[in-house]
Structure formats: C-alpha cells, structure tokens
Amino acid sequence: MSLQELYQEIILDHGRHPRNFGPLPESTHSAAGYNPLCGDRVHLYMKVQEDQIQDIAFEGAGCAICMASASLMTERLRGEPAQTALATFTEMQATLTGERDTSDDLGDLACLAGVRQFPSRIKCALLPWHALREALTGSPEEAPCPSRS
Ligand code: ZN
C-alpha cells in the first residue's frame, strides 16, 4: 500500500466513522462553521480549563474530507494547550494552502495535505480549523469590553 493509499484510507475511515462526534454538555467554548460551496456544517465544542483543552467534540454533516478533518483535529487536540491548538491551526492552514511544502511533522493530519491539489476541497478541510480558531480566540472571556457610546 502506498502512502497515498494509506492517507486515503485514513480519510475514508474518519469520514465514515468520525471520532468525538456528538454534543459536549460541559463545553466552555464553541463555534460553528458553514462552507456554502460544499454544504459542510461543523459545530465544534470544547471544554477549556486553564488554557488547556480538556475535552473536544463536534457535530455536523458534510463531505468525507470535512468530517475526517474535524475528526482528526479532535483526536490531535484533546489535552493540548490552547496555544498549541492555535499553532497547529496555523500549520494546517499553511500546509493546505501550499504556503509550506512539508507535512512530515503533522502525523495523521498529513493525510489531509493532499487536498491542496484540489482547491475546491481546501475549504472543506479547513472548516473545522476555522471553527477551532473562532472558538478559542472569540470566546466571551477574551472578548474586548463592549465600547460605551
Ligand atoms: Zn466538503
């Protein structure tokens, strides 16, 4: 089996059987994303304590690429510090848009790097990651105080 085929298998497996799929009742952070080009919808939930992602889950419906990306993301980020999650977002974005050549350091996430050959699917793969960043950086705790007028 070639590496390409192995990556294909991982995506199909996670696309069909997404890990960490479902609501997270004790979530402290959440965000939703929608990709109108493909119809993908992802709602991401996280329980973050002391800047660490204690738990993470998602709901939604979409193509195999989107579901696999969300599934792989939750597997990767559970237990990680929020800063690491944001750094991984930046790496994934750069990898999928072709800004960086290597995906060797991404582990299982590297299987998503192949989508950069298919520009219309890049949004599918990045949708859960954008929701991640929004959930982490747009959280009520960190939002600036509303300006008084
Ligand atoms: Zn899609």
Residue 37, CA atoms < 13 Å, CB-side half-sphere = 10
Distance 125 CA to ligand 1 centre (A): 7
CA-based nearest residue to 30, from 132, 146, 149, 141: 132
Distance 16 CA to ligand 1 centre (A): 14
CA 7 from centroid of its chain's CA atoms: 17
Sign of CA dihedral 29, 79, 122, 133: positive
Distance 148 CA to ligand 1 centre (A): 41
Question: What strands, in cross-sheet order, belong to the sheet with 29-35?
Answer: 29-35, 40-49, 52-61
User: Using one digit for the tens of pLDDT, what is the confidence trace for 27-50?
Assistant: 999 999 999 999 999 999 999 999
pTM value is 0.89
For residue 81, give the DSSP letter: B
- Three-class SS state of 142: coil
Distance 35 CA to ligand 1 centre (A): 7
User: Using one digit for the tens of pLDDT, what is the confidence trace for 87-123?
Assistant: 999 999 999 998 988 778 899 999 999 898 888 999 9
Distance 20 CA to ligand 1 centre (A): 19
Distance 101 CA to ligand 1 centre (A): 23
